[in-house]
């Protein structure tokens, strides 16, 4: 059975949503630990800055996971020696227009959350997994959320999206059981990132939200969890990792 190895030398990871927050920290952490990292997101400027900071181990990839053709052609936009993706970190996601009662959000707003957090994640996986199957080696790491197992009021669609990520991750792992492909879901609690700003487009409100919540995780806490999952030896799969601020545990 092939597998991802504890030895990162030459291994290539692709991180979606790498321009900010958890994805950015994951890209940096993986690069610091010897992986080559394709940093994917829509914000070209932020990706360029990140890749310059990381150096030769990073490569930017402009990617919109809601755009089927952008995702289907993603490998062809990479140099040939960067196309064998060993680790896919499906992290891109948002809750834009969320944190309100279901009837107060438009169907279009709700659909876009599903389109990104669920369909986008499925699309990226579908684009990358044939290479993993051909090599009998790979690791799909899905960034879910505790909202994927514990829904909350005003979070109908975000919770639904993360429940879908949870179900997808569980079934995908079963699809590839006994092969060299591993699937991990990481389910973070509150992490202080641009997530709340992207939800409301209101900086003061976003800051207040995190301040009122109290102790939050930082993106590097989740990046370390991703690293832990991908560094396991061949006989181990970290199937789910729930990571919450200690004050909430
Ligand atoms: N923050 C939390 O408390 C928390 C808790 C649990 C789970 N999570 C999950 O963690 C993941 C990352 O969130 P974060 O907190 O790091 O938020 P963030 O700082 O807002 O980062 C979100 C990332 O997703 C990317 N993205 C959004 N739409 C995209 C699209 N259509 N195509 C490609 N990339 C897209 C953004 O990049 P561009 O705008 O440049 O495309 C950005 O890099 C999300 O899946 C979120 O649900 C977050």
Ligand 1 pocket check for 232: Cβ under 6 Å: no
Active-site positions? 158
Q: pLDDT for 115-151, tens place per residue? A: 999 999 999 999 999 999 999 999 999 999 999 999 9
Percent of the chain with pLDDT over 70: 96
Instruction: Tell me the β-bridge partners of 138.
Output: 181
Kindly state the tokens that stand for 163.
């429940």
Please name the residues in contact with 188: beta carbons below 8 A apart, sequence gap of 6 or more: 22, 143, 145, 146, 217, 221, 222, 225, 243, 244
> How far, in Å, CA of 180 to CA of 4, rounded?
7
Identify the CA nearest to 18 among candidates 48, 6, 33.
48
Contact status, residue 122 vs residue 190, Cβ threshold 8 Å: no
- Identify whether the C-beta of residue 116 lies closer than 8 Å to the C-beta of residue 65: yes
CATH architecture, domain 12-243: 3-Layer(aba) Sandwich (3.40)
- SS3 (DSSP) at 129: helix
Q: Where are the domains of the chain?
A: 12-243
CB 112 less than 6 A from any atom of ligand 1: no
Q: What is the pTM of this model?
A: 0.97
Q: Ligand 1: distance of its center to the CA of 16 in Å?
A: 8
What band does 163 get if pLDDT is binned at 50, 70 and 90?
very high
Distances (CA, A) of 70 to 83, 106, 112, 123: 15, 26, 16, 10
Ligand 1 pocket check: which of 25, 37, 49, 94 to mutate, most ligand atoms within 8 Å of Cβ? 94
Report the percent of the chain where pLDDT is more than 90.
Answer: 95
90 C-alpha vs ligand 1 centroid, how far in Å? 10
- If you search the block for the tokens 């060299």, which residue do you land on? 180
Ligand 1 pocket, residue 150 CB under 6 Å: no
Distance CA 113, CA 102 (A): 13
Confidence category of residue 209, pLDDT binned at 50, 70, 90: very high
Average pLDDT of the residues in 164-172: 98
Please give the pLDDT value at position 247.
Answer: 87
Contact 16 CB / ligand 1 (< 6 Å): yes
């Amino acid at each position: 059975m092939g597998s991802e190895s504890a030895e990162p030398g030459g291994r290539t990871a692709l991180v979606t949503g790498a321009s900010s927050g958890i994805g950015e920290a994951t890209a940096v952490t993986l690069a610091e630990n010897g992986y080559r990292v394709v940093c994917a997101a829509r914000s070209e400027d932020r990706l360029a800055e990140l890749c310059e900071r990381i150096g030769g181990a990073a490569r930017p990839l402009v990617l919109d996971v809601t755009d089927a053709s952008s995702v289907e052609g993603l490998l062809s936009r990479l140099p040939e020696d960067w196309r064998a993706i060993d680790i896919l970190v499906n992290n891109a996601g948002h809750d834009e227009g969320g944190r309100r009662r279901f009837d107060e959000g438009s169907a279009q707003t709700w659909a876009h959350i599903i389109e990104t957090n669920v369909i986008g994640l499925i699309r990226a996986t579908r684009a990358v997994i044939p290479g993993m199957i051909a090599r009998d080696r790979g690791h799909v790491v899905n960034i879910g959320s505790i909202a994927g197992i514990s829904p909350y009021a005003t979070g109908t669609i975000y919770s639904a999206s993360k429940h879908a990520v949870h179900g997808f991750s569980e079934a995908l792992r079963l699809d590839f059981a006994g092969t060299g492909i591993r699937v991990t879901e990481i389910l973070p609690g509150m992490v202080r990132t641009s997530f709340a700003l992207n939800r409301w487009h209101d900086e003061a409100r976003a800051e207040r939200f995190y301040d009122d919540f109290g102790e939050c995780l930082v993106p590097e806490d989740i990046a370390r969890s991703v690293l832990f999952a991908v560094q396991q030896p061949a006989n181990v799969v970290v199937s789910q990792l729930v990571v919450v601020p200690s004050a909430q545990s």
